[in-house]
Amino acid sequence: MLNEKVSALLNNQINKELYSAYLYLDFSNYYQEIGLDGYANWYLVQAQEERDHALLMMQYLQNNGEKVTLEAIAKPDKVLDDKLTVLKLGLEHECYVTSLIHTIYDAAYSVRDFRTMQFLDWFVKEQGEEEKNAEDLIKKMELFGDDAKGLYMLNSEMGARVYSAPSLVL
Ligand code: FEO
């Protein structure tokens, strides 16, 4: 059994990860609509990763005898009206998720829950990578996105991203 607060925060995080998946599906749809199918692919893969994060948390709770409670997933509420702004919203969202992961880590640390801390280590690292990815997307769009050929190349690069299952095995 886990500490009540740690368990509640992990349950809540399942919802946040599923919301992230939902948000990135919205991003994917936006890019599809404006004809940037590579970016649509990139965020579709990202949505799959977010779903995996939720499933990992669910499995971790279950492995520790905890009840999983699924709540309603909020409607994506970001205004998507510009190819660069959407990328910035992505970075903003990842920074927010990082803060949530750190809050859970902090709760685990305060009750000396080393098992959960070790579980969360993967997520701490993953968030670092996701923030970096989001920053890189912004930088590239700022550098090359206003040029038609540059944008074409970027879109092709984003289209090459393929889904792979998470490296964390519970
Ligand atoms: Fe699951 Fe992008 O954090």
Q: What is the mean pLDDT of each run of 10 residues along the chain (170 residues)?
A: 96 98 98 98 98 98 97 96 98 98 98 98 98 98 98 98 91
Rounded CA separation 5/128 (Å): 25
pLDDT of residue 170: 84
pLDDT of residue 117: 98
Closest residue (by CA) to atom 2 of ligand 1?
Answer: 94
Residues in the ligand 1 pocket, defined by CB under 6 Å: 17, 20, 50, 53, 94, 97, 130
pLDDT of residue 65: 97
CA of residue 165 to ligand 1 center, whole Å: 14
CA of residue 150 to ligand 1 center, whole Å: 28
Q: Which atom of ligand 1 is nearest to the CA of 130?
A: 2
